[in-house]
Chains A and B, each alone.
Chain A
């Protein structure tokens, strides 16, 4: 990259200067550091009175599960929550950033935040980074205009849907939704379908696992149900701790009788 006569201040966004060098190094066999992805099954569903968001709780770093119980349902506003799939750092920071922006917006306008506001902030941010911010989100909330559910893709496109799934387990979860979704479900029916979808992801996708998190948002408020279902308990642990069998026999041999202790110099430490 040539230096211009006037040094312009950086305009923000990523600098792609080192990409060619990195690609060359990778082709020569250098290993790039693995980043922590959330693997993931995330879903959202619109029911009669609002929106239900669901997520699994496994975070992976390559082939290793680095967090068995992470939180993938992020707070955006008191009435808006967002599930995130993709790179964990990207989803965390993007939702944090939009959450702060929404709070400032609430102070400026003295009104409850609307889901489309969050949607527009997220999509313009992601589009600006041209897909390099690897965040795939399921955004849901209830505002004055009603319940809304949107799917946001890393390149900045969005879908407005009655039911949405994202992440590596999205096909398993979508199979459950396509066969069981009905319009105008009650809260109990909705929770059952969402749990079934997340469990399909947990048991059929390797990138998803552990527990089911839920968030039910209605006009009256929200219910954040952390670890609503725990279908993967550690069944091999003993609640009182392990204890070993009673002592069957013991034999103590005093080695002092067999060993001749001789005085000598300590070993030289070189």
Chain B
């Protein structure tokens, strides 16, 4: 069926007649069935990894501020960490427009909750559950919100850190990461995270992982943000850069002892 593969399926008429049919012919006439829509199956402007850890007083989230359009770093000041209400922070990797839609949804949710004026505010566990439902329902309609979300918060002394993926997989843990962070940062967390770290230790651990991600993830840039949520409130830092080290002696002339190799 060579023509079914040419021009990316624009030969709809021909396709409808021949694709998915047996050689004997169908029992019903399927020529009115539309081909499935594909515009929901790839992201356009994407953000890279988000890292999150629990520490003694609350939660720390970190991410870089790059929005990549395919293989170009098109936007260098994309804030991928947002505050939700008074005690939760949300970080997202994946499609930026879907992240913006999610933050709109959550803003509406928080506003409606505030309007009840009943002395209770939505906490991180509730928002996690809401996000989980949203993501899973969209996935069931074959139109996912193309994000991996990291949610962290603290309410009445109870710390929460969790992740919801684009297909609705969700879990909570002491340290989470999305995207490349899973492969590069999680091994370091598993080795070096400990219960009740101070803020300085937590920041140092995150900075170490952000640096590794900058070295080894092609869609990362040297411009990061960190968000901190404690019982006292939420702070999101201004973008900062980390000190990189390219001064290894071996990098100056890598083929010094091996003439002709590369």
Contacts and interface: CB of A to CB of B under 8 A. Distances in A.
Chain A residues touching B, range: 20 to 34
Interface string B202-222: 000000110110011000000
Contacts of A183: 248-250
Contact of B212 (A120, A150, A175): A175
Contacts of B185: 175
Contacts of B180: 171
A161 interface: yes
A179 B188 contact: yes
Given A46-B250, A145-B257, A203 B190 contact: yes
B59 to A, nearest CB: 22
Contacts of B248: 162, 183
B33 interface: no
A178 B260 CA distance: 27
A24 to B, nearest CB: 14
A102 interface: no
Contacts of B215: 178
Nearest to A168: B183
B197 interface: no
Contacts of A179: 188, 208-209, 211-212
Interface string A90-126: 0000000000000000000000000110011000000
Interface string B172-190: 0000000010011111101
B190 A160 contact: no
Interface residues of B, number: 27
A178 B188 CA distance: 11
Given A146-B257, A148-B257, A178 B262 contact: no
Given A119-B261, A174-B216, A175-B212, A200 B187 contact: yes
Contact of A176 (B188, B249, B254, B257): B188
A158 B262 contact: yes
B254 A171 contact: no
B191 interface: yes
Interface string A26-67: 000000000000000000001000000000000000000000
A174 B251 CA distance: 17
A120 B157 CA distance: 62
Contacts of A194: none
Interface in A155-172: 157-162, 171-172
B115 interface: no
A148 to B, nearest CB: 6
A203 to B, nearest CB: 7
Contacts of B255: 160
A153 B119 CA distance: 62
B258 interface: yes
A178 B216 contact: yes
Contacts of A175: 183-185, 187-188, 209, 212, 216
Contacts of B257: 116, 145-146, 148
A70 interface: no
A171 B186 CA distance: 10
A172 B183 contact: yes
B187 A176 contact: yes
Contacts of B254: 160-161
A130 B89 CA distance: 49
A22 interface: no
A25 B54 CA distance: 52
Given A183-B250, A203-B190, A204-B186, A171 B261 contact: no
A185 interface: no
Interface of A: 46, 115-116, 119-120, 145-146, 148, 150, 157-162, 171-172, 174-176, 178-179, 183, 196, 200, 203-204
22 contacts: A46-B250, A116-B257, A116-B260, A145-B257, A146-B257, A148-B257, A148-B258, A157-B262, A158-B262, A159-B262, A160-B258, A162-B249, A174-B216, A175-B183, A175-B212, A178-B212, A179-B208, A179-B209, A179-B212, A183-B250, A200-B190, A203-B187
Interface of B: 180, 183-188, 190-191, 208-209, 211-212, 215-216, 248-251, 254-255, 257-262
